[in-house]
Amino acid sequence: MDACQGEAAYNSDSVFTDHRTTVTTRTKLFNWHFLAPRNWPIWLGLGLMKLMAALPFPWQLAIGGQTGRWIGKIARRRRRIAEINLDLCFSELSPIQRALLLEEHFAALGIGLFETAMAWWAPDEKLRGLARVEGVEHLQQALDRGKGVILLTGHFTTLELGARFITWHQPFHAMYRPHKNPLYEAVMRRERERRSRLPPLAREDLRGLLRAFKRGRAVWYAPDQNHGIRNSVFVPFFDISTCTITATSRLAALSGASVVPYFPRRLPGTVGYEVVILPALEDFPSGDVTADTRRINELLEQHIRQAPEQYLWVHRRFKTRPPGCPSLYHL
């Protein structure tokens, strides 16, 4: 257990949404400002992503893996963050094992670029042979209650593609944090909206979120990033006192929505992917926000350990520390 373990209550917020009704895409891509020279590298990158989505799957894995390893050698700051996170969370592994896991993680990040491209632009015919979705009945049972669903997951490298697979069974809103670049934001929003068949919601749109729950829709939500002390508590995550947002418990209490966890994973070799949807959490919320948040971290940790290289370790998950505890990141 982290020496600075504490249960101090603090605060932060972020969510995502999922529904049953289908709407027409509204996001407009064309904007004269997008033609400015500063956006040309973004256009080039998006063009490359479209080409990436068209490649055979074994090529995507091979090229993506090599790309990720190359990124890992030049992105020194992100590499150092991932290295620190893996040292903290997998102290039971030997230094050689952790070094290997670090390399596998950057390979997974590179493949994740191709997976995002596939999620946005690959046709269903190409993807259906690669995906296995288990537990759809659990999501349907929760939706049948009519109070909405919080689709709980974590920030995995397969995040975008896993969400695409779920849209085959259930359209959803995406409540998300807008990207800083307006062009990339417009493309990302349009493609997510086109695939999920419902418009995304900005994470600040609490009214829109509650309306979605009231209409019996589902909400994608990943509570595993550090957003500061607002609306957060310190609970263990890989035995480290971790600042974790409490919105899952609070939203479930406020709306009556069920919490249905799901986890995407890329399988070994060229087999493809699986998405496992679990039954709705029982006795949740419990009335104890800290206990609920701890329970979610334990669930996330359990599934991260199944494919640790596919979790987003380049994020400073442990940036916010309990009062009096030193920073864990020396970059």
* pLDDT tens profile 257-274: 999 999 999 999 999 999
Q: Between 51 and 10, whose confidence is greater?
A: 51
Tokens 């199944």 map to which residue? 306
Has residue 24 got a pLDDT over 50? no
- pTM confidence score: 0.86
pLDDT at 277: 97
- C-alpha–C-alpha distance, residues 280 and 151, integer Å: 9
- Concatenated DSSP letters for 171-238? --B-EEPPPSSHHHHHHHHHHHHHHHSS--EETT-HHHHHHHHHTT-EEEE---S---SBEEEEEEET
3-state secondary structure of 108: helix
Percent of the chain at pLDDT exceeding 70: 85
Q: Which of 16, 2, 1, 7 is nearest to 294 (CA)?
A: 7
Whether residue 320 lies inside any domain: the answer is no
Residue 267 lies in a domain: yes
Question: Strand, helix or coil at 149?
Answer: strand
What confidence tens digit (pLDDT) does each residue in 83-110 have? Answer: 999 999 999 999 999 999 999 999 999 9
In the chain the beta strands, taken as DSSP E runs, fall at: 9-11, 17-18, 131-134, 149-152, 175-176, 201-202, 218-221, 231-237, 240-245, 258-266, 273-277
Q: Kindly list the distances between the CA atom of residue 224 and the CA atoms of 21, 218, 227, 312, in Å, as whole numbers in the listed order.
A: 28, 19, 9, 10
Computed over every residue of the chain, the mean pLDDT equals: 87
Domain of residue 160, residue span: 9-27+39-310
Residue 281 lies in a domain: yes
Domain assignment present for residue 132? The answer is: yes
Task: With respect to residue 48, please indicate whether it lies within any of the assigned structural domains.
Answer: yes
**What pLDDT shows up at residue 6?**
43
330 within domain boundaries: no
Long-range (24+ apart) CB contacts under 8 A made by 100-106 are 101/308, 101/309, 102/72, 103/69, 103/72, 104/309, 105/72, 105/308, 105/309, 105/310, 105/311, 105/313, 105/314, 106/68, 106/69, 106/71, 106/72, 106/79, 106/82
Does residue 285 belong to any structural domain of this protein?
yes
**Tokens encoding 150:** 């919080």
What's the CA gap between 194 and 275, in Å, rounded? Answer: 21
User: What is the domain count for the chain?
Assistant: 1
Residue 256 in any domain: the answer is yes
